[in-house]
Amino acid sequence: MRFDVITLFPEMFSAITDFGINRRALEKDLYALHCWNPRDFTADNYRTIDDRPYGGGPGMVMLPEPLLAAIEAAKVAQNQAGNLAPKVIYLSPQGQPLDQAAVKQLSACSGLVLLCGRYEGVDERVIKHSVDVEVSIGDYVLSGGELGAMVMMDSIIRQLPGALNHNLSAQQDSFEDGLLDCPHYTRPEDYRGMTVPDVLLSGNHAEIRRWRLKQALGRTWLRRPDLLDQRVLSKEEARLLSDFKSEHIT
């Protein structure tokens, strides 16, 4: 996976490249990241990348020329890397919500160009001319698209084969199967009088699997019932959820 990011603040992306799973995945060449600063595509001495909005109003809008030139340069680099039709994504509150299904779809792409806007946004002609899809990471307003791009990249990188020590981990991630995650415990068995559920100490892997599935179903029912609306339950899952509900003391 090659990411080409258009951003005024390339330094921010060290948060993705310098730590944990994402750092190891980069070192293993599971993905590549190239940042393009629109200021490098300006023709004036002040390296101007924004201007006042036509029609008046507060704030500034990012100019089309530097952005389109940066996007074109990123697409050429993608083409040279063998990705002939990289998807151009604009992070924006107006975008379609990012969910795990979208993450899995995007992780199958070989190259993505991510456009990070600032200020009041980018000139609409950039979106019409070069953006394939607008994506939002949530219904709130950030200071710019960079954190949204990093959230998207982080969730995609976890999907890349070899990124997680145990490939099963990705499948067990929350939302992977449309459910919230089950509770997790580690040592000690008794912490300040709070003990670990006996089943997890039993070594009975079939029972442990059933307990974890039941807890995931129960948690989803309690905290995000909307996710259950979208999910067909197996016979076993329906029974486990029914048991959880009857045991749940409100």
Ligand X SMILES: Nc1nonc1C(=O)N1CCN(Cc2ccccn2)CC1
Q: How far apart are CA 119 and CA 223, in angstroms?
A: 35
What would the two tokens of residue 78 be? 């993608």
CA distances from 239 to 4, 94, 233, 245 (A): 47, 40, 9, 10
140 marked as binding residue = yes
Query: Is residue 42 within the footprint of ligand X (CB under 6 A)?
Result: no
Pattern 95-134, ligand X, x by CB under 6 A: ----------------------xx-xx-------------
Task: List the beta strands (DSSP E) in the chain.
Answer: 2-6, 32-36, 50-51, 61-62, 87-97, 111-116, 133-136, 190-191, 194-195
Binding residue for ligand X, selected from 48, 136, 172, 174, defined by CB under 6 A: 136
Residues annotated as part of the active site: 93, 120, 158, 173
For residue 6, what are the β-bridge partners? 36, 115
Shortest reach from residue 136's CB to ligand X, in Å: 4
Q: How far apart are CA 90 and CA 87, in angstroms?
A: 10
Query: Is residue 93 within the footprint of ligand X (CB under 6 A)?
Result: yes
138 marked as binding residue = yes
Shortest reach from residue 160's CB to ligand X, in Å: 22
Binding residues for ligand X, per CB under 6 A? 91-94, 117-118, 120-121, 136-138, 140-142, 144-145, 148
Q: Which residues are annotated as a binding site?
A: 117, 137-142
